[in-house]
């Protein structure tokens, strides 16, 4: 039997992402964080601030992955509907979480601010939720089993991920090395395929580019075994030289 591969999916929520007004950075940081936990980000879906769309995406992605994350839509305004949508997806009611309320009260009191009705919205959670601590703004994220509801603001989401570090079951993290060469990737396509087949558990990604008026490509070798990655990179470098493409360790 092969090694157990743990996977996660991400639902990015927000009209501002789809409109192009805001560029998402959570995909990259979640993928990096998950890899360190031995979990692979398998798929991402971006959906608008529409409850039906969020419900459908959450249920579809959590059904086929070990973990599902959402980012966005848990703030204090009327269009922050992620909590209600997640509750609908899980068929549970929404309630003001006493622990979340206490955390918000402490946060705002320490700053001489009032816990208004709008701010109290951030204590509304699906019944049965656990808190994900948020040192940045006091408003916690939400955990419901294998489902994690995070803030959309990247540095706040990063803090929530820090709070989750070491809490998820996963496998071995992926190890990667990059090697590059000048020349069309089409000229080494078969070399890439045959090298990948020769090393069990290895995946080789090819990323073409155009620089300095020339074409080339970087090849990223990934596996959970560092020794296998090193051996594969060595074989790929040898094959590139034989094909007349000098390999560049670390990429171009």
**Number of structural domains in the chain:** 2
Full residue range of the structural domain in which residue 228 is found: 175-249
Q: Evaluate if residue 1 carries a pLDDT over 70.
A: no
* Residue-wise pLDDT tens digits, 98-147: 999 999 999 999 999 999 999 999 999 999 999 999 888 888 999 999 99
Instruction: List pLDDT tens digits, range 161-200.
Output: 999 999 999 998 989 999 999 999 999 999 999 999 999 9
**SS3 of residue 132 by DSSP:** strand
Q: Are 129 and 216 contained in the same domain?
A: no
For the segment 195-216, the average pLDDT, to the nearest whole number, is: 95
Q: Which pLDDT belongs to residue 94?
A: 97
Tell me what the pLDDT averaged over the chain comes to: 95
Q: Is residue 169 part of a domain?
A: no
> Which band of pLDDT confidence, cut at 50, 70 and 90, is reported for residue 2?
low
Q: Which of 164, 198, 229 is the last residue of a domain?
A: 164
Decide if 130 is inside a domain: yes
**Co-location of 144 and 109 in the same domain:** yes
Task: Please enumerate in sequence order all residues whose Cβ is within 8 A of that of 235, keeping only pairs 6 or more positions apart, or say none.
Answer: 195, 198, 199
Tell me: pLDDT of 11 over 90: yes
C-alpha to C-alpha distance for 41 and 222, rounded to whole angstroms: 14
């Amino acid at each position: 039997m092969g090694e157990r591969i743990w996977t996660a999916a991400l639902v990015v929520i927000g009209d501002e992402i789809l409109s192009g007004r805001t560029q998402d950075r959570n995909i990259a940081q979640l993928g990096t964080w998950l890899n360190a936990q031995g979990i692979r980000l398998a798929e991402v879906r971006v959906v608008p601030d529409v409850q039906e769309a969020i419900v459908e995406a959450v249920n579809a992605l959590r059904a086929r992955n070990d973990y599902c994350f959402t980012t966005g839509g848990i703030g204090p305004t009327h269009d922050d509907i992620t909590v209600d949508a997640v509750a609908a997806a899980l068929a549970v009611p929404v309630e003001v979480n006493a622990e979340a309320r206490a955390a918000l009260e402490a946060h705002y009191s320490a700053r001489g601010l009032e816990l208004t009705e709008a701010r109290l919205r951030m204590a509304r959670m699906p019944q049965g939720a656990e808190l994900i601590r948020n040192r940045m703004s006091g408003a916690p994220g939400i955990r419901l089993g294998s489902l994690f509801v995070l803030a959309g603001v990247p540095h706040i989401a990063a803090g929530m991920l820090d709070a989750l570090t070491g809490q998820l079951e996963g496998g071995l993290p992926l190890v990667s090395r990059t090697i590059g060469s000048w020349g069309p990737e089409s000229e080494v396509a078969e070399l890439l395929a045959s090298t990948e087949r020769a090393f069990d558990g290895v995946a080789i990604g090819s990323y073409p580019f155009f620089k300095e008026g020339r074409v080339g490509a970087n090849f990223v070798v990934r596996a959970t075994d560092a020794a296998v990655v090193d051996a594969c990179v060595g074989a790929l470098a040898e094959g590139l030289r034989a094909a007349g493409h000098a390999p560049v360790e670390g990429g171009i």
